[in-house]
Structure formats: structure tokens, C-alpha cells
Amino acid sequence: MTGGRAGSGGADSTASAVGLTVDARWERGEGWSGPTTLVATARGLRTARGADPAPDLRLRGTVLPGLTDAHVHLALVDPAALRRGGLAAVDDLGGDPRVLARLTGTPGLPAVRYAGAFLTAPGGYPSDRSWAPPGAVEEVAGPERSVAAVDRQVAAGASFLKVVLHPGAGPELDDETFGAILARARAHGRPVVAHVEGEGQARRAHEAGIDRLAHAPFSERLPDDLVGAMARTQQWISTLDVHGWASPTREQDVAIDNLTRFAAAGGTVVYGTDQGNGPLPAGIDPRELLALGDAGLTADGLLRALTSTPTGAAFTYVPGEALGPDASPEDLVAWLARATVLVPDDLTHRPGSAGLALETPRRTHP
């Protein structure tokens, strides 16, 4: 085993396992650490073990898990731009699953997971919206149609399902149909993400057992006891910046208020922006992170929200000075502006890896 290729079997025995030392590292549950020897594999980064060969690369800077935006619409944005903007993975929350299936595993794009089509009532939101392309919406006419609608998304590769609870914008799913969609998703072992809009809909989603909300609730200030109960069972995708973008609206104030109490009660906050909906920066959105800081998340909390999903071989590299445990959200935002998505092959194709601060350590032993 030579040339920095690491691993002697099992999951690491791919051509793309690379040993390296880095100046600093951040890891979920472990926080910040100093100089570390790692192995980059198809499964991601791991700490080097005794049996691994000595690394022959040194990456000047910090590595951390791949960053994920858990709410995007790839039909409405340039997926390659999202990757260039620092995203290793994205969750598409409403699009034609046949189109999305073709994007998965494409080099140069983020890793893609998807819900497939929005499941909504006949004529319900967003079936009437010009931005919803053909195949992006399934109108579910009654509980007996729910099984086939869910099955179609799962057969097309959906990792989770997306339902719409938005009665103010047209016909809505009745409780029986909504329940049948949830039951069928459960039978497939798929979580369900809900678009929740309008008074009473957050409570309805919670009582039905929805796993994840596509947006931190923004229609009404939720009572503390409901927020506390939701924090025990649900994950909330943030999407704070989409309420007005650079000119925040009342909805953003409501969403930040709800999210502040949800996070304080121990709820799982997931970074997501609704890419494709309005003028969002392609990639990591500084305004989203700063709004999450307003909701009380620390820099460490922001990194946890950004690393909600394992991203396979892809990881994040930030050249230059490391950040530390005392960093503020503002510090983190400035630092992440230098972030790049890497895979092990990027490290082995020197010097084509332009922009990487790589060194070959001087060997003290042959």
C-alpha cells in the first residue's frame, strides 16, 4: 500500500481512499480539533487508524463534513452553481422524480436526495403555479389514490415524501387522504416532509406525526406547549431568508420567534433555504445563517444544522486560519465564504487540484 492510498479492506478498499493530515477539523458531536491525520474514503472522512499507511498529503486548512441544503428545487436553479457555492448535498422538496433521478451521482453536482412530486389535493397548491413544472405535482383524489401516488414516488427513487397543508391557496387534502399518504409512506419506511401554511396547520401536521417541516412555521406564533411537543418529535427546516430575502417580512419575525423556542427546547434545526424560490445566493446563503443566529443558534449549532445528512465521499475544506469554539455566527459566515466541496479524487489529482493548499510532507523514514 503506497502513495497515500489507505485502507486494507472493507468499505475503504476503493481507489479513492486518501490519507492526509489537516491543520484543523470540525466534526458533529466532537467540535473542533487541531492537527489530525485522516483518511478520506467513499464513505467520508474518518480518523486514521494504526494500520493505515502514513499519509503523504498535508491539507493546509480545516476540514468538516459536507454541507447540505435540505430544501431546494433543482428544476429552478443551476445545480452545479449550488456545488460551487459550497453545498455537498441537497434535498429536493418537490420536482419531477424522473428528472431528479438523472441528476443523482452526476460529477460536479451536489449529492441529490428527493421527495419527488408535491402530493396535494386536486387543484391544490402548487398545481396552479407557473413555477411547478409538469411531473412536479401529484393531485391525490381521495385515500384510495394515496397508495399509488406514494408508490410512484418511491419507485422513482424518493428518499422521503412531500405533502402540502396550505388550505388558503386552494383545495386541501382531507384528513383521510392525508392520513393514507402518511400510512403508505410509513409502510415504505420513508419520512414525510410537510409544507405547512395557514393557521392551525402546524398543529395538524404535528398531531398527524409529520417528521419534518419544510419551513419553520411562519403563519402564526405557536404556543410554547405546542413548540415543546414539536421539538420532541419533529425536525424543522429553517428557510428564514425566503421571507423577504434582503428585506425581512413579518413572516420572518414569526418564523424566528417560533424557531428560537423550538431550538431552545432541544428541537432539531436543519439548514434549508428553498433554493429556486426567489433571489437567493446560489450555494450557502449567509443571510439564512445570520437569521438562524438571530434564533439563538451558535456557530456550532449552525454547523450542526448544515451537516444534517451524511454526504458520502464529499467533504468541506476551508483554507487558511481555523475557526474555534468561541466563533460567533458572523465569524462562521465570513469563514464559510472560503468553503469548497472536495472528494478524495480532488486530492490525488495534483497539481490539477488548483487552489488547494497541499503539501507533501518530508519523510523521515523511507
Residue 231 beta carbon to Zn ion: minimum distance, rounded to whole angstroms: 22
Give which of 363, 366, 312 is closest to 342, Cα–Cα.
312
CA dist 152 to 96, 101, 117, 261, Å?
A: 11, 13, 9, 37
Q: How far is the CB of 195 from Zn ion (least distance, A)?
A: 7
Sorted by sequence, the CB contacts under 8 Å of residue 263 that are 6+ apart come out as 269, 295, 296, 297, 301
Asked if 12 contacts 38 with a C-beta cutoff of 8 angstroms, the reply is: no
What are the two backbone dihedrals, phi and then psi, of residue 121, each rounded to the nearest 5 degrees?
Answer: -75, 155
Per CB under 5 A, residues contacting Zn ion are 274
**Least distance (Å) between residue 78 CB and Zn ion:** 17
Write down the least CB distance from residue 196 to Zn ion, Å: 12
* Helix residue ranges per DSSP H, 209-249: 224-233
Q: How far is the CB of 82 from Zn ion (least distance, A)?
A: 14
Choice between 24 and 103, CB closer to Zn ion: 103
Shorter beta-carbon distance to Zn ion: residue 39 or 74 = 74
Phi then psi for residue 40, to 5 deg, are: -95, 120
| Residue 235 or 348 having the CB closest to Zn ion | 235
**Cβ neighbours of 11 (radius 10 Å):** 11
Q: By the 8 A CB rule, do 12 and 34 touch?
A: no
Q: How far is the CB of 335 from Zn ion (least distance, A)?
A: 28
In the complex with Zn ion, which residue's Cβ is closer, 197 or 274? Answer: 274
Shortest distance in whole angstroms from residue 293 CB to Zn ion: 23
Q: Cα dist. 64→93, 119, 201, 231 in Å?
A: 25, 35, 37, 26
Q: Cα–Cα distance between 11 and 139 in angstroms, integer? A: 42
Is the CB of 213 or the CB of 222 nearer to Zn ion? 213
Taking the least distance from each CB to Zn ion, the nearer of 274 and 346 is: 274
Nearer to Zn ion, 22 or 72 (CB): 72
Which residue number has the CB closest to Zn ion? 274
Looking at the chain, the number of H-run helices and the number of E-run strands are 11, 18
What's the rounded Cα separation, in Å, for the pair 268 and 257?
15
Cα 54 from chain centroid?
33
274 vs 288, beta carbon nearer Zn ion: 274
Smallest distance, Zn ion to C-beta of residue 176, A = 25
What minimum distance in Å lies between the beta carbon of 159 and Zn ion?
16
Tell me 133's DSSP state: -
Check residue 115 and report its DSSP letter.
Answer: -
Q: What is the DSSP string of 290-305?
A: HHHHHTT--HHHHHHH
Q: DSSP character for 223?
A: P
Residue closer to Zn ion, measured from CB, 215 or 261:
215
